[in-house]
Amino acid sequence: DAKTTQPPSMDCAEGRAANLPCNHSTISGNEYVYWYRQIHSQGPQYIIHGLKNNETNEMASLIITEDRKSSTLILPHATLRDTAVYYCIVIETSGSRLTFGEGTQLTVNP
């Protein structure tokens, strides 16, 4: 599975959009981009995933560049409850090793 690079930490003001970047320059054609988050002392939570098209659900939007070498997770109106570690994971559809990198600690400030 391709390696990902994320900034270790980011801050965002409450009510503003949080844009979390992820670099995955070695991604291959059959690998998806997944995002999970982990709120302090809880288990990780699935957010969204995509292959090459942009995706949106009730939690977030995922923007994948045309060359698929990077992506951005967008939380459109961040709240204090969105403070968490966000993990970007690249994995094959048949892959069974959901492997977490260091992630980005997002802090939403009032």
Partner 1 sequence: DTEVTQTPKHLVMGMTNKKSLKCEQHMGHRAMYWYKQKAKKPPELMFVYSYEKLSINESVPSRFSPECPNSSLLNLHLHALQPEDSALYLCASSQDRGASEAFFGQGTRLTVV
Distance of alpha carbon 67 from alpha carbon 58, whole angstroms = 26
Decide if residue 58 touches partner 1 (CB under 8 A): no
Distance of alpha carbon 101 from alpha carbon 49, whole angstroms = 16
Decide if residue 49 touches partner 1 (CB under 8 A): yes
Decide if residue 52 touches partner 1 (CB under 8 A): no
Rounded least distance, CB 51 to partner 1, Å: 12
In the beta sheet, which residues pair with residue 73? 20, 62
Q: Which stretch binds partner 1 (CB under 8 A): 10-18, 21-29, 60-68, 82-90?
A: 82-90
Distance of alpha carbon 88 from alpha carbon 73, whole angstroms = 9
Count of residues that interact with partner 1, criterion CB under 8 A: 25
Residue 39 CB coordination number (10 Å): 13
Binding site for partner 1 (CB under 8 A): 32, 34, 38, 41-46, 49, 85, 87, 89, 91, 93-103
